Chains A and B, each alone.
Chain A
Amino acid sequence: DVQMTQSPYNLAASPGESVSINCKASKSISKYLAWYQQKPGKANKLLIYDGSTLQSGIPSRFSGSGSGTDFTLTIRSLEPEDFGLYYCQQHNEYPFTFGSGTKLEIK
């Protein structure tokens, strides 16, 4: 199975700041990485797929980069509603695997 190592585990930032979350795959997954946001009481939300393609309806302050084994989710100019849990997921091969998650909190 492809292991996905996500960092940092916790992240604290203030509204208006920019943050980055990293995801490292144990082997090359080409460009096939997705990012999700999870918040209590809400359905999980797809942010990015294919490494850098912004899902329809997602604000442009979210961006994804990387290929092969190393990927980054960047959120510019944080808004209050951006705080929550973020997960990466490789969608290159079975079994599809997720990172362990990053909790983005208000500083």
Chain B
Amino acid sequence: EVQLVESGGGLVQPGRSLKLSCAASGFTYSNYVMAWVRQAPTKGLEWVASISTGGGNTYYRDSVKGRFTISRDNAKNTLYLQIDSLRSEDTATYYCAKDGGYYDGFYYFDYWGQGVMVTVSS
């Protein structure tokens, strides 16, 4: 059974940093593109970033470029999202998501975690 379990969220002051983790199990993690998708309170879903199977290629939405860093450790079956210079508009539930394609990214998401809440407030 595919499982994605996020952790690392919480209440953070503006300008501070946070690192989210996503522990994956139930599939060959190193063979799949992975992504982070977020959802602000009462808002819709927003793709944040994706990372290739080996970690060498990363992709971000413009609003987070330079502040967010997606990475992965294939030995630990874990996905990360480093968030720096946090802003109030980063307040959201952050979901880890598995790409539906095998090895190559197809960029739809066939499994999602339950999400982790990040609240940016002073």
Contact = CB atoms under 8 A, between A and B. Distances in A.
Contacts of A95: 47, 61-62
Interface residues of A, number: 24
B113 interface: yes
Counting chain A CB atoms within 10 Å of each CB, the highest count among B4, B45, B62, B100 belongs to: B45
B104 to A, nearest CB: 12
B73 interface: no
Interface residues on B, range: 20 to 34
B49 to A, nearest CB: 9
Contact of A55 (B45, B61, B107, B110): B110
Contact of B45 (A42, A87, A94): A87
B59 interface: yes
Interface of B: 4, 44-47, 50, 59, 61-62, 95, 97, 100, 106-114
